A and B are shown apart, each in its own frame.
Chain A
Amino acid sequence: MLILLLVAATVEVPASSFRMGSDRAPDETPAHEVSLLGFGIDTTEVSIGEYEAFVAAGAYATPAWWSEAGRLWLEEHPGGQGPALRASGRTPDHPVVAVTWYEADAYCRWKGGALPTEAQWEQAACGGRGTRYAWGDDETRLAAWFTEGKTGQLTGVHTRAVAEEDAGTRAPNGLMHTAGNVWEWTADAYHSRFYEDSPQADPRNTAETPWRTLRGGAFDNLPSYCTCTHREPALPAQPRLTAGFRCAYPGAGP
């Protein structure tokens, strides 16, 4: 489709404020007002091809690109899960999976950015519109999720290419696969009660907890796991076949 050629690499989110969270899940409450500086964010999830270019550039041999915790992880895992698991039988235009938080963080540093905070992710994906998904509440649309999660049988890593998505599930600002496809690592430490006393301006949970937060749900999840506000705790060193990421950038982009 011609439109695929017109996908901008990043979406610019101007300085803004929005209502973060929901009145539903215990870890999404209270819904609260948050203000953010302007930032850029990848339109798409990072693809296998993009990630393997990072590897080819020397990712695992260049500790300078890694966080301090990431360097410690790197010593024990000198090649990550390896290209076969990261691809899991898919073509390079699909989202990379089986990367830890440390690898995702290093990639974004290499690109001149950082993993988005939970607040940046939620604002970019859903704009504080208060709907369950970027496009509204309709769960009959064909997002890359698994509506047969309780009754069906998954036979593999059934993602879609990062830049292929029905217009009906794209965010109004153009962000793709915010609901489903792969979970996306964010910068924040996970704590279920963070919203009770989080900062109003550019919040990011930097507390020492064992977990980071995944957002957006994945191809193996029911729609209810793929909402704008769902927060999923995950160990930063534990890769999943269902988790990838996208990067954010200060100001206007990379």
Chain B
Amino acid sequence: MVMLLVGCGADPLPAGESLATRPSDAGPEMVHIPAATVRHGMKAGAKFVIGPPGPPPGGRAPGPPIGTGPGAPPAPPAGAPPPHADPTSGASGSLPDLGASSGTRHGITKADPDPLEAREVDIGDFWIDITETTQAEYARFIAATGYRPPFVDEPWAADGWSWTSGEAPAATADHPVILVNWYDATAYCTWAGKRLPTEPEWQLAVLGPATDERNYPWGEKVGEGHYNHGRMTDPNYDDSDGFARTSPVTAFPSGRSWSGLYDGFGNAWEWTADWRVQDWAKVSGGSNFGRLVDPHTEGLELYAAVRGGAFFFDLGPNPAGERNAFVAELRRKSSGFRCAANGD
């Protein structure tokens, strides 16, 4: 096994942590996350913040000019804004009950719709992919197994979202695979000899342990250049970060988490292994003097837990805006995933 120290490369880590990494047979390099105590669920009294704090409606600070963002992205097609015949396909459509709100939702806050109040839980060590699963990797899976290519049979999806075969579109081969549902993500990770991370594992890898929990993967404050986000208003795309749609999975090195993960916030929403439940009675695991160990959700449900936000829409910091529930069978243009594996 090749043991490396994260942080020795060109991209210094904000926290300077030294963690073991290893290559994967399928997928990106993995990083080893040591056991820790994590805050799982919503902080007591947390508000579901829809939209980033700070900028007033219509007054968002402009980002860098298109084409100068991280990773020297290709400029989006000149002239027309991205087609958005499916304006509700992303986070805006999936946010639980927004009541009577409509139009711009910038800065709207609402009482936590998810009454799973935060508890500290213990997580054993595990490995996790440093990037979201790419389209090229997903194509390898399809070629090897005959699994279903990402495709949605709706008019909007024909504009470069759906695949037309088992081959990844050349222009987005190093972007996260999207239009995958929870079952697709689970099937891929199983094939790769991995599994989806549980939600608290994701929380630990991206935002840190309970004793050092961050608002964002890169620190405490939102900022341009760290992640591929959208915007709060229709059409919910935003190319001020250099990308109207998805971006290559290593395009935002300054947005890496304490553990070295790319795209913890932004690019694609990430499926987790857990159903989205509203009751701790549906969460089981081991016990350490009454504290849950390696919790996971029991039973069959309809919604799975997703984390991290996407290029579509924009969201506030943990523990609210980038935590969501998607219908497990729905294939969204904003939903992807990364895989994890058990500790050694």
Contacts and interface: CB of A to CB of B under 8 A. Distances in A.
Contacts of B93: 150-151
Contact of A210 (B145, B149, B302): B145
Contacts of A150: 86, 88-89, 93-94, 330, 332
A154 B301 CA distance: 11
Counting contact residues on chain A (CB < 8 A from B), the size range is 35 or more
Q: How large is the interface on B (under 10, 10 to 19, 20 to 34, 35 or more residues)?
A: 20 to 34
A191 B147 CA distance: 6
A194 B148 CA distance: 11
B166 A26 contact: yes
A78 interface: no
A25 B158 CA distance: 10
A141 interface: no
A220 B148 contact: no
A42 to B, nearest CB: 23
A198 to B, nearest CB: 13
A193 interface: yes
B300 A239 contact: yes
A18 interface: no
A85 B300 contact: yes
B61 to A, nearest CB: 29
Contacts of A27: 148-149, 151
Chain B: interface secondary structure? loop
Interface string A214-239: 00001011101101001111110011
A149 B165 contact: no
Interface in B297-338: 299-303, 327, 329-330, 332
Which of A154, A157, A225: most chain B CB closer than 10 A?
Answer: A225
Contact of A154 (B145, B148, B153, B327): B327
A62 B166 CA distance: 42
A192 B153 contact: no
B154 interface: yes
Contacts of B149: 26-27, 192
Interface of B: 86, 88-89, 93-94, 96-97, 142, 145-149, 151-154, 163-166, 183, 187, 299-303, 327, 329-330, 332
10 contacts: A24-B153, A150-B89, A150-B93, A150-B330, A154-B327, A193-B166, A194-B146, A224-B153, A224-B154, A241-B300
Interface of A: 24-27, 81, 85, 98, 146, 149-151, 153-154, 157, 190-194, 209-211, 218, 220-222, 224-225, 227, 230-235, 238-242
